Structure 1
Amino acid sequence: MNAVITSPWLAAIATLGIIAAYEGWLNIAQRLAPGRLARTAHASLREDWFAAISAQPGSEILAVQTLRNSLMSATMTASTAVLGLMGALSLTAPTLHATLGEAVTGTAAWPHVTPRLAMELVLLCLLFASLVASVMAVRYYNHAGFIGGMPVGAPQRQRWAAAGSAYVRKAGLLYSWGLRQLMLLVPVVAFVLHPLAGVVGALLVVAALLHFDRFSAGE
């Protein structure tokens, strides 16, 4: 009986543990060999792009168009995250209200948190984090667009060149984080459908991220 009761919690821990272990390994790998990871390599690519576009007179329109496309992509990610957050809140709110209500009214000493409710809260956190990252990416792309639209030879452009390079780097990283958090929703949603499906989903997502996070100039 105890094994049956605790198995959903074990599945939840395994689901989140697989993701956390991979993210921890990725952070270590990024410090040891940053050039072999797509996140770092693409961040350098965006900086090199801004430096090249800033050295070419007449490229202001191209710079603005490119940054506008990136801004729209980040906007779509933010819209997806906020729609998902609203939908998840509408589904989770009744259960969360009932659970917290038991503790507030004194009918239960502690809120009765089930594995499903815990994973639903993780779902909300991931959606909120994706929304924040995507909105901040929009912000930085917007600022970089103003800088990229300045005439290349203008002294104001030279004064803001370092900030523009930093903004496109930050915007790209935030955009990638927003997308990543949406991908991490897969095992969480799978767990809500069935606890063991969450473990399988975590393994599949890690396998996909392992491919996407690797960078090779020859591929």
Structure 2
Amino acid sequence: MADALGWWLAAITVAVLLAYQVLLAAAGRRRPQRLARAAHATLREQWFVAVSAQKGSEVLGVQTLRNSLMSATMTASTSVLALMGTVTLAAPSLDATFRGTGLPQFTPRLAMELVLIALLFASLVASVMAVRYYHHAGFIVGMPVESQARREWSEAGVAYLGKAGRLYGWSLRYLLLVVPVVAFILHPVTGPVAAVLVAGVLYGFDRFSPAAIR
């Protein structure tokens, strides 16, 4: 009976998070201008175009991208440390589960530990890839504005910067999604409550309203 309730609570926790992402994707197709990700993608693109049109802005551009690269690097470091700690804590449970003969018996706690590992790994991969694309964009921004190479690589620079921004955003999102999973592991009842709270926090982050920001 306890395991059945645990599975229900785990399913509700994951379902709330998935439902929010589905609704966000649907809203992005209908009204992308109302979402922060679309607005910030446009901001990055316009920044690159503005920097490319201003002679002598190469150093400023590289410094700006270096700040973004360092932020993504810190996220990657946080993710890998959390991933290592989670794997260390989950190792005894995994060993006890798979050591016996026959099919392994999964518990709700073990399932959510695996979800936690998956989220942290996804955050690590997204942040590392963001570092990669910020690195490429930095080389392009560092080229002299009036050079032929800069003109040839400008379109790729916009694409790299956009890709880096989206990946960095996903890396932070995955870290936030960790909170309800950890809450469930600490006490299953708190999982759905934390999922609703995190969805509310994400809703505030995902909306784009300059009036609300002011």
Which among 86, 89, 109 is matched to residue 88 of structure 1? Answer: 86
Q: Deviations over 1:174-195 (max 9, x none)?
A: 0000000000000000000000
Give the CA RMSD over aligned residues: 0.7
SS at match of 2:211: coil
Which among 106, 127, 141 is matched to residue 113 of structure 1? Answer: 106
Shift in Å, 1:218: 2.3
Residue 208 (str. 1) matches residue 201 (str. 2): yes
Tell me the equivalent position of 2:145: 152
TM-score, normalising length from structure 1?
Answer: 0.95
Tell me the equivalent position of 1:48: 46
Q: Deviations over 1:41-85 (max 9, x none)?
A: 101110110011000000000000000000000000000000000
Aligned length: 212
Partners of 1:5 and 1:83 in 2: how far apart?
30
Partners of 2:66 and 2:85 in 1: how far apart?
29
Q: Deviations over 1:96-152 (max 9, x none)?
A: 1221111xxx2xx32010000000000000000000000000000000000000000
Show structure 1 runs of 5+ residues with no match: none
Tell me the equivalent position of 1:66: 64
Residue 25 (str. 1) matches residue 23 (str. 2): yes
Tell me the equivalent position of 2:136: 143
Identity of aligned residues (%): 61
Partners of 2:94 and 2:197 in 1: how far apart?
29
SS at match of 1:151: coil
| Deviating 4+ runs (over 3 angstroms) | none
SS at match of 1:152: coil
Q: Which AA in structure 2 matches 1:161?
A: S
Partners of 2:83 and 2:37 in 1: how far apart?
26
Partners of 2:211 and 2:51 in 1: how far apart?
24
Shift in Å, 1:216: 1.2
Tell me the equivalent position of 1:35: 33
Partners of 2:171 and 2:68 in 1: how far apart?
13
Partners of 2:171 and 2:3 in 1: how far apart?
35
Q: Which AA in structure 2 matches 1:167?
A: Y
